[in-house]
Chain A
Amino acid sequence: MVSCRSFEDVKELIVFEDVSYSYAPGRYAIEHINLSIEKGEVVAILGENGAGKTTLIKHINGLLKPQHGSVIVSGMNTKDTTVATLARYVGLVFQNPDHQLFAETVEKELMFALINFNFQKEEIPRRVEWALKEFGLIEYKDRPPFLLSGGERKRLALASVLCYDPQIVILDEPTTGQDYRQKLHLASLIKKLNSEGKTVVVVTHDIEFAADFIPRAVIMSKGRIIADGKSEELLTNRELLMSASLLPPQLVELSWDLALNPPTIHFDEVVSSVKKLLGGKKS
């Protein structure tokens, strides 16, 4: 039988043990993945197109089952657990909202997952209300989702997953097509989810977003994890970023150009270093 411990006593919430998966024989989409994410962490998964990021996260809610190795989520082996069971704990928001919006109205779209997961009748309107407010969609309540703008559809897709309060939230490229204000909103949302004890995994190639808001980075290249650690350490490592075909964040590039030692992803540190440099010249 599936051993299912409660969320409180599992520290390592997501564990990949030597996981490999291939869509076509002879070529692995992900290979020998070892990864452990603890409860309450916020992690960015970075890498170029085709690095295997999306394949990796599809293993967390069981859409893909590992062909080799195992994935344990909250003590459940994903091989023995249905997607519907895992999805209750793991909210996965897909990159393109057009791949999931289908209901007649925004309100009904939000109710879809709640009904699938058998939420109680009294509970549903309360959660829908919360999501409408949280994501600034209240005025669109009765509109068809297809008539919303691109950014609004993206927010609705996010809301339609977060409204059922999953313990693990996975966002696939949440910043594409969002303006800077929406990115800030997203960052504060991630912070808020995290303060509620949720675990957040963000798949992105928006390296600026990861550098600014996400403390842990996992860098993938050609189906493998090539680095895993603090964002401020990994995103200032020139060789590492080169080998993953990632552009460094602008602040890091500036620190390199100014020969700051050590280079940094923090705005404040760059500013104080620059001030010191300027001050040094004057005196």
Chain B
Amino acid sequence: MKAFSFEYKRGTTIIHKLDPRSKFIYTILFTALTVYFVNPLILFLVFLSSVPMVIIAGIGKRWLRSIRGSLFFIAFIFIFNLVGNFWTTGSIADAIIMSISMSLRFIALISIFSAFFLTTSPEDLTQSMVQLKIPYDYALTFNMAMRFVPTLSREAQIIMDAQRSRGLELEKGNIFQRVKNYIPVLIPLIISSFRRAELVADAMESRAFGANKRRTSLYVLTMDRRDLLFISCSLAAFLAILSLKIMLGIQ
């Protein structure tokens, strides 16, 4: 659970200082590539594109943790595709290549999104969404959802402790039993989330949230030369990879 929290920490590197919109352009372009290609080499290239960002931003440790945290899903994707493709094509070689591609696609996505969220403050992200003309309500909803992920994961841990103290054994039984074991954890988690949502709503309204249709901002994000350079590099890399398809016919 911790792996997907993408917790932002303040930083002073060039990557941190970039306008979220520039990083967002990179994220969109390369996400599109991961979906477009199935060739494992290309997918590996897409994955590699995020590595310089991670190194420059100095977020290697937490980036690795994100990837390590998703190993379970990667294993699941690999096995699922292996069995599925072998079933449909009957060729073990094809099935292995396909499974590698699908796993790489997932790793590339995790890496790209980690690079984005680990270097972008939630406030800047909200502000950039507003400047992209996304209604403030939606931008704020997104921001708060991100903000509450770590809170929720901490709370899940406390609830698990509380139920284990009453004799609940989460690891007991077969797979169906195990899923059922989590009901006493999920229900309090959902209910307390609702309780909190209501509290936050009340607190916001009592501070006049939504009283004025037109909001003004204390800080306005601006793009500078660094942003233009970053966007140009992203775009060039994107076109270069895309041209491989046209020139070499790689899928």
* Chain A: minimal CB distance from B2 (Å): 12
- Given A58-B161, A63-B164, A83-B164; A100-B188 close (CB under 8 Å): yes
Inter-chain contacts of A112 with B (CB < 8 A): 166, 168, 184
Inter-chain contacts of A258 with B (CB < 8 A): none
List B146-198 residues whose CB lies under 8 Å from chain A.
Answer: 155, 158-159, 161-169, 183-184, 187-188, 191-192, 195
Question: Would you call A211 an interface residue if the criterion is a C-beta within 8 Å of the partner chain's C-beta atoms?
Answer: no
Question: B167, A88: Cβ atoms under 8 Å?
Answer: yes
**A94-120 to B contact mask, C-beta < 8 Å, 1/0:** 101011111000000000110011000
Inter-chain contacts of A87 with B (CB < 8 A): 164-167
Question: B162, A94: Cβ atoms under 8 Å?
Answer: yes
CA of A30 to CA of B167 in the docked complex: distance in angstroms?
25
Question: Would you call A84 an interface residue if the criterion is a C-beta within 8 Å of the partner chain's C-beta atoms?
Answer: yes
Question: Would you call A209 an interface residue if the criterion is a C-beta within 8 Å of the partner chain's C-beta atoms?
Answer: no
Residue of B nearest to A86 (CB): B165
Question: A99, B155: Cβ atoms under 8 Å?
Answer: yes
Question: B183, A98: Cβ atoms under 8 Å?
Answer: no
Residue of A nearest to B184 (CB): A102
Question: Would you call A161 an interface residue if the criterion is a C-beta within 8 Å of the partner chain's C-beta atoms?
Answer: yes
Question: A99, B188: Cβ atoms under 8 Å?
Answer: yes
Question: B187, A102: Cβ atoms under 8 Å?
Answer: yes
CA of A87 to CA of B195 in the docked complex: distance in angstroms?
29
* Chain A: minimal CB distance from B126 (Å): 29
Inter-chain contacts of A102 with B (CB < 8 A): 163, 183-184, 187-188, 191
Inter-chain contacts of A91 with B (CB < 8 A): 165
* Chain B: minimal CB distance from A181 (Å): 26
Question: B192, A92: Cβ atoms under 8 Å?
Answer: no
CA of A50 to CA of B188 in the docked complex: distance in angstroms?
25
Inter-chain contacts of B169 with A (CB < 8 A): 82, 84, 116
- Given A99-B188, A101-B188, A102-B183; A161-B158 close (CB under 8 Å): no
CA of A102 to CA of B181 in the docked complex: distance in angstroms?
12
Question: B165, A116: Cβ atoms under 8 Å?
Answer: no
Inter-chain contacts of A84 with B (CB < 8 A): 164, 167-169
Name, among A61, A83, A100, A117, the residue most crowded by chain B CB atoms within 10 Å (CB to CB): A100
CA of A58 to CA of B165 in the docked complex: distance in angstroms?
9
CA of A161 to CA of B166 in the docked complex: distance in angstroms?
7
Inter-chain contacts of A83 with B (CB < 8 A): 164-165
Inter-chain contacts of B188 with A (CB < 8 A): 98-102
CA of A245 to CA of B250 in the docked complex: distance in angstroms?
69
Question: B161, A94: Cβ atoms under 8 Å?
Answer: yes
Question: Would you call A140 an interface residue if the criterion is a C-beta within 8 Å of the partner chain's C-beta atoms?
Answer: no
Residue of B nearest to A94 (CB): B162
Question: B192, A98: Cβ atoms under 8 Å?
Answer: yes
Name, among A82, A84, A99, A146, the residue most crowded by chain B CB atoms within 10 Å (CB to CB): A99
Pick the contact of B162: A88, A100, A116, A146 (CB < 8 A).
Answer: A100
Residue of A nearest to B188 (CB): A102
CA of A69 to CA of B195 in the docked complex: distance in angstroms?
40
Question: B192, A100: Cβ atoms under 8 Å?
Answer: no
CA of A61 to CA of B167 in the docked complex: distance in angstroms?
11
List A23-78 residues whose CB lies under 8 Å from chain B.
Answer: 58, 61, 63
A-B contact pairs, 12 of them (CB 8 A): A63-B161, A84-B167, A94-B158, A98-B192, A99-B158, A99-B192, A100-B159, A112-B168, A116-B167, A116-B169, A146-B191, A160-B166
5 A-B pairs with least C-beta separation: A116-B167, A102-B187, A100-B162, A113-B166, A92-B165
Binding site for B on A (CB under 8 A): 58, 61, 63, 82-84, 87-88, 90-92, 94, 96, 98-102, 112-113, 116-117, 146, 160-161, 164
Binding site for A on B (CB under 8 A): 155, 158-159, 161-169, 183-184, 187-188, 191-192, 195
Given contact pairs A82-B169, A101-B188, A102-B183, a sample of 18 additional A-B residue pairs in the complex whose CB atoms are under 8 Å apart: A63-B164, A63-B165, A84-B164, A84-B169, A87-B164, A87-B165, A94-B162, A98-B191, A99-B158, A99-B159, A99-B162, A99-B188, A100-B166, A100-B184, A102-B184, A113-B167, A116-B168, A116-B169
